Structure 1
């Protein structure tokens, strides 16, 4: 069975969501979109940083699939979209990551997340060490 490439479909879904909600997100070369709602004043994480964040993860349709008020984790232990996207935040910052499936779980189902899903995360970067 050939793997489906969701890149174009995800790109269209993200653009439509951003337009529908009248947001002004930035797009990176990888296809990740991010929006900084509150500029932090602290350190910016890098690939080796240990972070503490609060987040809500949801789909394009608004259904929540995960949330955590105080996740503490090394940046190397998260999905590619977070590794890239969280480096745009500063400690104390808040914003949104729009993660296409190729930067998350790709062509595989992962628990409540179907293959090919765009994942949206409301993020608050609490601490960077």
Structure 2
């Protein structure tokens, strides 16, 4: 009896099928990567719309918008130096959700009601590392921070992912 397929041809055929299956199963998107299907441009647009709506609803004008999407407004002018990355700073602050103005963190409200000291570096959210260097010592300002400059897609603790937030920051000292 003659074999239907020659031995060498059978191996070539099986190897071809394996290659086809292997490449067909390859996908540029990792199903376990939360950023794989994330549309950063659409989220940035949504964040900006939420921030602009908040500003309009609350009658807030004279804000400065940076290229990254951060909104900034001086509440009380300061006359001291401006901090730079690497400086140690002392601040009082209130953090709120833009959508409902609920406070999620405040140095005024939680014991010991004292200002916090931080090193102005990459361990802070990008909204702070961009916004605080715009301030002068003694200045009080508000920052409206889009989610990509805040806690991003994954969020942090009480702050859900993709949530734009605002901070009122009082820069007390540059140490």
TM-score (norm 2): 0.71
Number of the residue aligned with 1:29: 67
Q: What is the RMSD of the two structures over their aligned residues, measured on CA atoms?
A: 1.1
Map 1:1-129 to 2 at 5 A: 1=31, 2-5=37-40, 6-24=43-61, 25-60=63-98, 61-68=100-107, 69-76=114-121, 77-129=123-175
Deviation at 1:22, TM superposition (A): 1.2
Distance in 1, Cα, partners of 2:80 & 2:102: 31
Name structure 1 gaps, 5 residues minimum: none
Between Structure 1 and Structure 2, which shows a larger proportion of helix residues?
2
Distance in 1, matches of 2:132 and 2:45, equals: 23
Bigger-Rg structure (1/2): 2
Q: Is the 8 A contact 1:4 1:107 kept in 2?
A: no
Runs of 4+ more than 3 Å apart: none
Which gives a bigger RCO, structure 1 or 2 (Cα 8 Å, sep 6+)?
1
Cα deviation for residue 4 of structure 1 reads: 4.3
Count of residue correspondences: 129
Shift of the alpha carbon at 1:3?
A: 2.3
Superposed CA deviations along residues 27-83 of structure 1, whole A, max 9, x for unmatched, are 000000010011101111111111000000000111111111411000103110000
